[in-house]
Amino acid sequence: MGKGRRVVARCGTRALVVATVAAGGLAAVAAPAYAAVPTVSSVVVAGTTNKVVTSGTTVLITGTGFSGMTDNAAAGGCSIAPIAWPTANSGCSQVRFVGVSANATTGYTLATRYNVISDTQMYATVPTITPVDGTTAGSPAAGTGSIRVQVVNTTATGTSSGVSVSSQSEIFYRAPLTASLGGTDVNANPLGGGTLPVQITAGVAPMTTSALFTAEKITAYLSSTVGGSPTVAPANVTWKDADEVNVALPPQSATGDYVSVMLVHDGVAGTADSDDLKFPSVITGIQSCADAAATSTWIGAPTTTFPTCTGTANAPTSGAAAFKITGKGLTSSAGTWSFDGTGGTVTETCLVASDTTVYCHISVTTPPPSGVAPVTFTPTAVGSSAAAALVPTAGGIVLYSTLV
């Protein structure tokens, strides 16, 4: 029997098969030399150290073994077990965002796209992950939103390198929350304050406990446009039940037309309810101005030096008077003021200085017989929004007297 001879065969450029041929056939075959399994040592939002993401966020993935990744194969078409190329399901690569109850073939969503920078770094776009109920395979974990990133690299230059496994690949997926007040108008306290129940109709797993709510890190903002200027106010949020939260309306909340209520999910802005919440206008006080004629002149040509107005709101039974009116939601009041009361004839000229301050000059022809008149205005609508109501208060009256 003669000596055998060694045969070296190259598979691709990295897998080496070594066999010894002896008389009568192949004596032994060595196992293929698989490439190193990719590792993931860090996943952060690109350009930051933040690990909170949502659909469309670009993340920077750091690790090893990314060279040769060229595609983002369909989930069923890429083996995560080492497999010799060109066997079926080799020669492909994936970036997976893995949720709860995941296994080798289910429970993950592929990156929308990725771009390999080097063997140790790549950028990937976070996909839309649904559902977010915390129980269905592939969902982010309830409360924390935890998901992990895995890299599959089965390149056509060798054999499968398998799938990365790393505790450092955790990120926290937050879907935008949809806020709803139930489709009905809600009139809040015109001066702010109080608690507003807000339904969450999309974007989060049921928060069956206050602990799950705390983990979701939900905050809120109120926003509106007053006098052409946008206003935004933060609001505290507390747990109410599995699908509803309580929003504490801050003092001095925006008034007038509809106010948007937006829930923010750990920094991810949601879809606001923009056509249900209103803060009615309110007059909180009226003061007499010292010089009616000067106030009338100022109303016609206002300057930064405001009229001096103090004391009780008194008016003569005939002649002129001027007043400073304070409240909330006064921007929508231009041209609609009334000092007549019942049976009186009073002509007024008013200037809206701000959403909280109005100056008015009146000429009294006939005072109301009772000698007392509530000061009112009819708020005007903006766009398609109905006007908020005016809330009468004890501070919104003028006394007519012959002693003035």
List pLDDT tens digits, range 320-350. Answer: 999 999 988 787 665 578 999 888 999 999 9
Residue whose tokens read 């001096």: 308
Residue 362: pLDDT band by 50, 70, 90 thresholds? very high
Q: For residues 250 and 284, what is the distance between their CA atoms, to the nearest angstrom?
A: 18
Question: Per-residue pLDDT tens for 366-392?
Answer: 999 999 999 988 776 544 445 556 766
Residue whose tokens read 């032994």: 28
3 Cβ contact partners less than 8 Å away, ≥ 6 residues apart: none
> Which of 56-70, 188-202, 208-222, 386-400: highest mean pLDDT?
208-222
Tell me how far CA of residue 246 lies from CA of 220, 239, 403, in angstroms: 10, 6, 52
Determine the pLDDT at residue 82. 55
CA 254 to chain centre: 19
Residue 241 has pLDDT above 90, yes or no: yes
Residue 394 has pLDDT above 70, yes or no: no
Determine the pLDDT at residue 213. 96
Q: Given its phi and psi angles, is residue 25 left (phi above 0), alpha (psi -120 to 50 degrees) or beta? A: left
* 221 neighbors 233 (Cβ within 8 angstroms): yes
Determine the pLDDT at residue 178. 96
Query: Burial letters for 110-130: b for 16+ Cβ neighbours within 10 Å, e otherwise?
Result: bbbebebeeeeebbbbbbebe
Determine the pLDDT at residue 73. 58
240 Cβ contact partners less than 8 Å away, ≥ 6 residues apart: 197, 246
**Per-chain mean pLDDT for the chain:** 81
> Which of 6-20, 286-300, 329-343: highest mean pLDDT?
286-300
Count H helices, E strands: the chain? Answer: 2, 32
Q: What is the pTM of this model?
A: 0.71
One CATH from 2.60.40.10, 3.40.50.300, 3.20.20.70, 1.10.1740.10 for 178-279: 2.60.40.10
Say which residue, 189 or 90, is predicted with more confidence.
189
Residue whose tokens read 């949809």: 178
Gap between the terminal Cα atoms of the chain: 136
Residue 28: pLDDT band by 50, 70, 90 thresholds? very low
